[in-house]
Amino acid sequence: MEVIDQYLSYLRYEKHYSEHTISSYKKDLHHWNEFLGTHNKPVFEATYKDVRLFLNHCHHQKLARTTVGRKMSAIKMFYRFHIGEGVMQVNPVTLVKGAKRGSSLPKFLYEQEMEALFEAVDKEDALGIRNYALLELLYATGIRVAECCELELSDFDFERGMLRVFGKGGKMRYVPIGEFVMEAMRRYLLEAREALAKKSKIKTEMIFLNNRGTALTDRGVRDILKRLTEKTAQNIKLSPHVIRHTFATHLLNNGADLRAVQELLGHAFLSSTQIYTHVSKDRLKEIYDMAHPRANRAK
């Protein structure tokens, strides 16, 4: 649909949203448009009542609250854009209360689970060396998968131990990188990347390449992590965002300042980072045992 494509182009070229986000918005907006089509309602004639009917439709489809909340956000922003363009005057989503997301905490891995993942990587060939460097980088920096896939060779500063990252909306930030990830990245760049690059006639400055020599995609990263978890004997549902959660959780559990973690994650608001102030059960028990006068008889 042309008006949806126009809006997605705005997100891509003006707002610099990631392709993953744009893909999600496209799916949600087409779902909304198809629903309106079954009721013979043009997209710019939708009303509050139509939105309520759509929410009921989503409920019957047994969609997760987070999914419905994302759809409402996408539709609301779509209409806000076209109001700004003078196409319509009233946003039909404005009066609808967003779907409550529930209070589930972000999933993260314990340190021993991360160690098991690192040990599961076979570093004997170019792809294995790449996978190890990728895992080290994601865990060491907490960057988003889209940010990782868009990294170029010039974004690494090995001398200063810093990584330049372009986040949501094209906002740039610098993230420090430690010795483990620098060692893994040096080996990847020296021993593996060139071998992978030779498989493609098209030269690219993107750091991470796939087995065809072209830029690794976010789907490719997810597949790599899925295969790694299959090599471990652990029941882990791993995604790039779980590693991002793990990065933040481990920093805070070891005494990092919340605002520093906010800066590292590239969060615009501190409220987005505060969800990570939970601590693991083991860490909570450790704090209790050390701090409470009657936690154990040895005191």
Number of domains in the chain: 2
Q: Are 78 and 115 within one domain?
A: no
Of 43, 69, 84, the last residue of a domain is: 84
CA separation for the pair 267, 277 (Å, rounded): 15
Q: Are 115 and 80 within one domain?
A: no
What is the extent of the structural domain holding 128? 111-284
Average pLDDT over residues 220-247: 84
Position 89 in a domain: no
CA separation for the pair 230, 206 (Å, rounded): 27
Residues 145 and 208 sit within 8 Å (Cβ to Cβ): no
CATH for 37: 1.10.150.130
Q: Are 78 and 137 within one domain?
A: no
CATH for 137: 1.10.443.10
The predicted model scores a pTM of: 0.65
Position 185 in a domain: yes
pLDDT in tens, 103-156: 456 788 888 888 989 998 999 999 999 999 999 999 999 999 999 999 999 999
Q: Are 263 and 124 within one domain?
A: yes
Q: Are 77 and 214 within one domain?
A: no
Four-point Cα dihedral 129, 224, 11, 32, nearest 10: 180
pLDDT in tens, 272-299: 787 776 554 555 666 667 777 766 665 5
Q: Are 67 and 210 within one domain?
A: no
Residues with catalytic annotation? 144, 168, 241, 244, 267, 276
Looking at every residue in the chain, the average pLDDT score rounds to 87
